[in-house]
Amino acid sequence: MTLFLSIVCAVPPALTCPTPVADVGEVRSGPPLVQSFQLTNPLRDRAIHITGLMCGCLRRDLGQERLAPGESTELRVAVNTLTQPEGPNTWRVSVRYRLEPRAGEPEPEMVEYKLDLTVVAKLVREISVTPPAVAFSTTGAAQQTLIVTDRRDRPLTVTHARTTSPHLTATLGETRTEEGEHHQALALALAASMPVGDTQETVVLTTNDPACPELRVPVTVHRRAAHGVTASPAQVELVLASGVPASRLVQFRAGGQPVRIQAVESSHPAITTKWASPGGPVATLRVTLPATFSGEAGETAGTAGEAMIRVTFTEPAHAEVRIPIRWSNRP
């Protein structure tokens, strides 16, 4: 039996970027913030293979994964400004890679390195969508309302709405103006025909503003089998302020039937959970994020982020609920 040891080294020996920190200054909310980084292999005799990208971006596009000696490629990241907090923001991207063996050399141990890239900006909130991200956790059909708000003197209008799922529809609603803000409502409807399981969808809103032609709203769908468990709220928003941990209670119900939590798993190591599950009609879970932490991708408590928790139950048997967790920072 051959064992391969994978080691992640914080200090990269090879892959370079001439501007690893991009301070783009003041940015208006609405369209995504797009930033490009040039990645170069400066080695003369070894190729570099990029093995992964870690970030909380809306999109990330890498020109190529393998860089021959002296070769460069472009990495483009896009941040959804609609889901980010107003004020100073920092987004980090961790590029993981390994060195390929020289010609004629045996395969070396699997050592991974990482190169950290950073985008810094001050976000000015002019256009917003409430909620900025939608979560459905249901056994059947469900509805939610989106509100697009524009605080500018010449506000945009959403002219068309579409989604990435045939089971999810978005319908334009009424508009109103009050206290200098323009509001437009949209109705989201999840059909009962949505298959059981978890999916990530997007609502795409087309506008009449050339400077902001499109707004994209992420949608998490957890479609449960009948007689499943309902979570309230279906998604958790946390705000870290003044060095104080942020927490939120989530309640679970199953139509009057007993509810008992079996286990909770989190996709982020900083999130902790505690629950009371005596087996009555309601089970309660507390989700907590500490005031300070550092994540695998280099994020800190001053950085907006997101994760997912998975809750399994002994009652109802085999039931499962997934809850998106999103956090932001306030000074």
State the pLDDT confidence band at 17, using cuts at 50, 70 and 90.
very high
Sign of torsion, CA 179 327 75 298?
positive
Q: Which of 141-145, 183-187, 234-238, 325-329 has the lowest mean pLDDT?
A: 325-329
Protein fold of 126-225: Immunoglobulin-like (2.60.40)
Q: Which CATH superfamily is domain 227-331 in?
A: Immunoglobulins (2.60.40.10)
Residue ranges per domain, the chain? 7-124, 126-225, 227-331
pLDDT over threshold 50, residue 232: yes
Whether 7-124 and 126-225 share one fold: the answer is yes
pTM value > 0.75: no
Beta-strand relationship, 168-178 and 214-223: unpaired
User: pLDDT (tens digit, 9 = 90+) per residue, 169-224?
Assistant: 999 999 999 888 999 999 999 998 888 788 889 999 999 999 899 999 999 998 87
Q: What is the pLDDT of residue 6?
A: 44
State the pLDDT confidence band at 301, using cuts at 50, 70 and 90.
very low
Q: What is the pLDDT of residue 45?
A: 86
Sheet holding 33-40, edge to edge: 33-40, 72-79, 59-62
For the residues 121-138, what does the mean pLDDT come to? 91
CB 28 within 8 A of CB 43: no
Q: Among 3.40.50.720, 2.60.40.10, 3.10.580.10, 3.20.20.80, what is the CATH number of 7-124? A: 2.60.40.10
State the pLDDT confidence band at 108, using cuts at 50, 70 and 90.
low
What does the block give as tokens for 99? 């060195």
| CB neighbours of residue 299 within 10 Å | 22
Angle at 62 between CA 132 and CA 21, to 5 degrees: 70
Angle at 307 between CA 207 and CA 283, to 5 degrees: 110
User: pLDDT (tens digit, 9 = 90+) per residue, 258-281?
Assistant: 999 999 999 888 899 999 777 788
